[in-house]
Amino acid sequence: MKLALFDLDNTLLAGDSDFEWAQFLISKGVLDREVHEAKNHEFYEHYKAGTLDIHAFLDFQLKPLARHPRPQLEAWHREYMATHIQPMITDKARALVREHQQTADKVAIITATNRFVTGPIAKKFGVEHLIATEVEEIDGQYTGRGTGIPCFKEHKITRLEMWLADLGLLWEDVTESWFYSDSLNDLPLLSRVTHPVAVDPDDTLEAHAKLNGWPIISLRG
């Protein structure tokens, strides 16, 4: 089986959907700017440096979901898609996804960002399979907590293997694999696939890609 995997933030998107969701809520007055904006930037810098505490971040990022009814959250998300996400989707990214959809048996987006934020984005790309950090729900309402294993760093491999198992497959069934990412945080999974590709990479990933002869591409513009 041929498998093509895409990171989302700063890879398929020319920006970070997680960071922009918090900024959107701040712009709407849903979150207090003074309290949340500095914290949002702080978490983002830790992510880029490879030092993010994923559990502390999820506590920060998911709590607002528990404070508002689902219809309101979904209405905000539609506005966020139009104002923040659509401008970050490039023709090059769409074309690369379509190319793999024509040649690979399975195409999936695999991202640390939670499913509430990323589900509609995956649909916008026409990608059926999404492996993301999961959000706990009780009776259709978000609790503000994550559930299961966060889809982050080496745990992306764990979540990928769990997804394959749900399809009745093992990693050994994957004969050829691609993974596109911008981030040093994805080095574990990049090192696992047969075709790792660095996309507009951070400095650490760029150096690693050059050292190992991995392709480096840009999807911007």
- pLDDT tens per residue across span 69-81: 999 999 999 999 9
53 has catalytic annotation: no
pLDDT single digits (tens) 82-118: 999 999 999 999 999 999 999 999 999 999 999 999 9
Domains of the chain: 2-217 (3.40.50.1000)
pLDDT at 189: 98
| Helical residues (DSSP H) of 50-142, grouped into ranges | 54-62, 70-80, 91-103, 115-124
pLDDT at 151: 97
DSSP, collapsed to helix, strand or coil, labels residue 191 as coil
pLDDT at 11: 98
Nearest to 49 by CA among 196, 202, 179, 182: 202
105 has catalytic annotation: no
pLDDT single digits (tens) 153-164: 999 999 999 999
Alpha-carbon Rg for the chain in angstroms: 17
Catalytic site residue from 7, 16, 186, 202: 7
pTM beyond 0.85, yes or no: yes
Q: Which two tokens stand for residue 27?
A: 């712009």
List strand residue ranges (DSSP E) for the chain, in order.
2-6, 106-114, 129-138, 141-147, 176-181, 195-199, 216-217
